[in-house]
Amino acid sequence: MNPRIVVGISGASGMIYARRLLDHLSGKAEVHVIITPVAREIALHERIRFEDGDGIFHSPEDLASPVASGSFRHDGMVIAPCSMKTLSAVSHGFTPNLLTRAADVSLKERRRCILLLRENPFSRIHLENMLRAHDAGAVIMTASPPFYHRPEDITSLVDAVVARILDHLGIEHSIGGRWEGY
Ligand SMILES: Cc1cc2nc3c(=O)[nH]c(=O)nc-3n(C[C@H](O)[C@H](O)[C@H](O)COP(=O)(O)O)c2cc1C
């Protein structure tokens, strides 16, 4: 049976990370998608499209969605990209929308919860929120790709980050680019 993965998309730059993550999850997982209103605006601006076929979409306003409950079993949640606002909400257990509620539930149920942060530089508040979320069980990642695989295009850069997310979710992929020494 395919794993069930929840993908949250919040309003940070880097919608291509969400796009490539959904591309790589396609056919390998039952994907539940929550996109915040600001994320939708930024996706329009960054010319990234999300399609019906990407997964089962849940309105961020729908706090009665099954995804809002600990009884909804899944194999991991990823927020990519994760804004500092959403990080703040997750790290403080503040759950005004379905995205933050689903992350809160993932943490309390001890399920994998990966936050792919996108901001630069980080303030002390951001750093403290990262530590809070980490200590509560989240995996903190940044949208900072490596270069040792000699990427020739943006997709290759983005995929190098997506590969680490998939590794943490335990989902097989063939992205490549693993460091094998000089
Ligand atoms: C074009 C654009 C790009 C943004 N990029 C970022 C970003 O990279 N990181 C971030 O933390 N916030 C960013 N923001 C600010 C967030 O969108 C804002 O804090 C918003 O309230 C986040 O809401 P959400 O997390 O519920 O989607 C950006 C906003 C806009 C309009």
Q: What residue ranges do the domains of the chain occupy? A: 4-169
What values do phi and psi take at 171, rounded to 5?
A: -105, 125
Mean pLDDT of 27-54: 98
Residue 60 beta carbon below 6 angstroms from any ligand 1 atom: no
Residue 40 beta carbon below 6 angstroms from any ligand 1 atom: no
The residue nearest atom 20 of ligand 1, judged by CA position, is 11
Close Cβ partners of 116 (under 8 Å, ≥ 6 residues apart): 14, 17, 78, 79, 80, 81, 82, 141, 142, 143, 161, 165
Instruction: Assign 110 a pLDDT band (cuts: 50, 70, 90).
Output: very high
Centroid of ligand 1 to alpha carbon of 82 (angstroms): 9
Asked if the model's pLDDT at residue 90 lies above 90, the reply is yes
Residue 177 CA: distances (Å) to CA of 20, 57, 139, 153, 180:
15, 31, 21, 13, 9
Fold of 4-169: Rossmann fold (3.40.50)
Centroid of ligand 1 to alpha carbon of 35 (angstroms): 13
What is the pTM for the complete model shown? Answer: 0.98
| Structure confidence at residue 1 (pLDDT) | 83
Instruction: Assign 177 a pLDDT band (cuts: 50, 70, 90).
Output: confident
